[in-house]
Amino acid sequence: MTHAERPTKKEMILTIARELSVPRFTPAEVEQIRRQLIARLGASGKTSSDYVAGVLETAGMRIVWSTKADTQGQYEEEFQDLLHFATLEDAEMCIVRLDELYRKFQEDEELAAVERVFEVARMGRRRAEMIARNHKVEPEKRAEKEEIMQWFKVWLDTPTHFSTGLKCANLRRTSRSVLPGAHPRMLKRYA
């Protein structure tokens, strides 16, 4: 393949953006595009989130760069290090904390902060999804991340149905029914 036949970085960004099929691009989607660019193009795909957002904006796509600006960074300490989940237990605590923040901000009618909770949860789901789909990662770790991705999806789809005292055993039961083909070691862990 000659250089002329390869799509440009901008074209790749727009292709990935269309594949996401979302009505707007938040930092979570921009980060996913940036990571996909690296996955597809290797080192030549490295770029900043600002560059990706600029390409999307120039193409007329709706960018909601950050609800962080809407909250004046007021709650950012609440979100620091929240998405570091190496194990199922870490992911469980992450979702429990997101649920707590969601309920707190809902009760206080802090709508921008509620949107920030969703933004962070979407980013968590996408991070887990990227690892789950990476064939260079061990199958057991991929299965674990697939399950975590499903947990985030369930929470994002039905945040109002989770109780404040959420026990992730409910998530585990849900993910088992959603993921009948989950890795046997993972299912045995929750039997």
Confirm if 34 and 52 have CB atoms less than 8 A apart: yes
- The CA angle 31-37-43, to the nearest 5 degrees, is 115
Tokens of 161: 């149905």
More confidently predicted of 27 and 77: 27
Question: 107: exposed, middle or buried (C-beta count within 10 Å: 0-12, 13-18, 19+)?
Answer: exposed
List pLDDT tens digits, range 1-53. 445 578 889 999 999 999 988 888 888 888 889 988 988 888 888 888 889 98
pLDDT digits (tens, 9 = 90+) for 111-138: 888 888 888 888 888 888 888 988 888 9
Q: For residue 163, is pLDDT > 50?
A: yes
Are the CB atoms for 129 and 149 separated by under 8 Å?
yes
Report which of 66, 65, 159 is spatially closest to residue 116, judged by C-alpha positions: 66
What are 27's two structure tokens? 């930092």
Question: Contact at 8 Å (CB) between 92 and 167?
Answer: no
Q: What is the pLDDT of residues 63-75, one digit of tens each?
A: 876 544 445 556 6
Which amino acid, residue 107?
E
Q: Record the pTM.
A: 0.55
Distance CA 183, CA 95 (A): 21
- Continuous H helices in 73-110: 76-79, 88-107
DSSP state of 63: B
